[in-house]
Structure 1
Amino acid sequence: MRVYKDGFVVLDWSLNRKLLVYMDARQFNLYDKEREEYLKFYKQENLNGLAFENSIYYPYTHLDVLEEYPFIEHLFIGQKKIKDFSAIKYVRQLKGLYFEDNSAEFDFTMVKESLEYLSTRWHAKLKNIEQLYHLKWLWIEQDDDDVHLPAQVEKLDFFRSKKTHLDALASCKAVKIIVLDKCTKLANIQGLKYVGQSIEELRIEKCKNLEDFSPILELDTLKSLKIIDWNKENKENLKYVYEKLVAKTDVNIHIHPKLK
């Protein structure tokens, strides 16, 4: 995050995501001239998104200011108090939507025509995520076996997922990268068979309930495999998979701790 001399704050997220930060709801009540200065700064710095930080004393409850920024491409929402997302309709070319922690109802059909990147913690009030037909990257936390995935997604990051299996991958036809991080309820990975002709990278970290890694052997297009902090009780199964992969493919394999 960078603070400019005039008090503007920019979240410099990556090379292609630079967001003007609204620190608290008082900025919604600025005089017209001050609001114009925000907009002027946004355009001068070639920013491409807005970030609404979590404010304890001046929380946001809506996003009406988006009417003044219909051209943004990325939207970060870190405020738990926002219940009204209807103003997102003003943003016609939204590519990235990033929820830090929100439990309000949200229907993804509002952004299905343009959204390519989504980061969210899952909860029951999120609707129609499978209708995000243009989604390329999904980072999702605490989802479960009932969550339907978008068909065209290319990268899937599951963090602390409540999934016990990966059958939801049956709808995914273009997945190239899958990350399974701290998915402690995941009991089997048989569902990887659904992406066996597309997946190129697989990372499994701290998923210690997994016992059988053999479905990995059926991933014909796999180029990179990382397995980190696995259950040592499953050493023999993992060693078998490792030896088979080494013998028949040129997959880049990283397993830690090392198999000895």
Structure 2
Amino acid sequence: MAKKDASVRVSLFLLVLGLLAAGSAFAGSLIVGSVAGATHASLGGQALVAGNTIFSGDDLEVRDGAAVVTVGSGSRMVFGKDSVASFGRDASEVTAFLSKGSASVYHPAEDQALLRLRIGNLSIVPGKGFKTLGEVAMTGDTLIVTTKEGLLRAEGDGKITEIPQGQSAKFIAKVSRSPQQAGGAQTYGGGGSSAVMWIAVAAGATAAVLAGLAMSRASDAKDASNAATAAANKADSDALAAEAQANTANQNAVAAGCALNTLFGTPTATPFTPVGTTCP
């Protein structure tokens, strides 16, 4: 009997240890990261302070301030003024769902955990093997992704846009709406009746627009130069015409004066003396 009781106690003890281990592992799988610092920010409606643990499913809101969240082995996300985000985690990655505002992402090369920033249909992830620092900012219906160091990848709808160091990519929002909600107000970043799709502005198209603008400006400058040249030529022509008219007038005056000398010339008369020439 004593052996049976001891066996039951051992079994219960092992069961409790197993439950505790499973609970600890489950809790660990839900932990996204911790707060390194924050001002004017809240988590689930409560004021956010350094040291707070962030779990999968938590909602972050930053007002007139900022929040720094550490993730994995040295990765960081910094959420700027007027930002709203929520968090998720699975076995292999941590995801921040940004629905408003801006975020900076730092991911060291040695951190093997995947860090993902999700905005609508678009995922921003650091390139593997790179120490990466980048920024994402939403303004109205425009999204700008900038890589300060390393490499960022923008993934969405089967397309991948790589953004190397020192470059930016621009995306514009297209809102897909349910037919029954066609008359309602449009919202960005959430809700079951509308979804934001970010569409990349093609670099080639942007370059073509810039080239067209440059050509237009060059054409305008050429037109202005041609107009200035034409005006100068006309002024020169007018000056030559005026000079010719003055010469003709002078010749007429000399001829008239010489004719008066011939007509009225007397020993006591004062003869007309032309300048630079003589009377015939």
What TM-score, normalized by structure 1, do the two folds share?
0.31
Greater fraction of residues in helix: 2
Return the structure number with greater strand share.
2
TM-score (norm 2): 0.29
